Amino acid sequence: MSNVRVWIFIHREAIRRFTRALVGVLAVSCALAGALAVVRSRPPKCGGWFRPACQECPGLDAALKARAAGRYDQVAALTKSALDAHPAPTCWREFQAQFDRDLSVKFRLEYLPGRRGAPKPPAPGGHLRLSPDDRYYVIVNASAEAYLYLFQIDGAGNLTAIFPNAETTILKNPVSPGEQRIPGMDQFLSVSSRPGLERLFLIAANWEIPDLQQIAHEAEAAKEGSRKNLAALFRARAANEIQYAPLPGLKYRQWDIESLGTPRSGGAEKE
């Protein structure tokens, strides 16, 4: 026994350090266990970064994939079937609420004739005719947090991603409710130097549309030939969203602008 006491006396400082470290490890373990218990007690959020699948909501992964592809009829059928079978899961109800919650989006365009003076709105019901010197911007006002996709196709069929676009605004999807200027302050849009009809397209939804996000990303650095191909991809996908635009959580708007094709007085031309 005396040998044990001698050993403890000799190593008493090491024993103290070990004990303190052990207590610290136990404290951290208890804290992590408590945090994990809280997370597990909350309603499961399916389809997120850390939980791409959701065991508590069978079939939700298929519904998420269908929504990403724009197959909204399939989404509705899967949701109804799941809730009829198991009406309790919170994640299914949260998923359904994105389609049932109405999204209101107000859209207006303002332009500066010849880059001078105060911004002017187009005449009510009038056909907007602009030269490349008539800079403009758009104001979007969403009633709730929303994913916005704003594109422009010029008379030659080239697609320009106006939003999302990291080069023109710091805003990112989803945008907050309320009035948003696109592009950002002190920046403007313009029509092409080529004469012809140009169109602005706005699609807004309570959920992300990955295809449109990808098209916008590719359009930022695309050259003219590629931007024509991207315009075709956008039109194909936009046709799907237009078809389903009566959904409460999905909105579509289009604005026609006639480019007069007047050469700019200075600066680089927009292809």
Taking only the tens place, the pLDDT of each residue in 226-242 is: 889 999 999 999 999 99
Cβ-contact 243, 269 below 8 angstroms: no
CA distance 112 to 133: 8
Query: 217-229: buried (b, 16+ CB within 10 Å) or exposed (e) per residue?
Result: ebbeebeeeebee
Quick one: which H or E segment has residue 130?
Answer: strand 128-130
Q: What is the pLDDT of residue 53?
A: 46
Binned at pLDDT 50, 70 and 90, residue 271 comes out as very low
Q: What is the DSSP letter of 113?
A: G
- Does pTM surpass 0.85? no
Helix (H), strand (E) counts: the chain: 7, 8
CA distance 259 to 262: 8
For the chain, domain boundaries: 2-41, 60-100, 105-259
Q: What is the pLDDT of residue 238?
A: 92
- Six token digits for residue 184: 């950002």
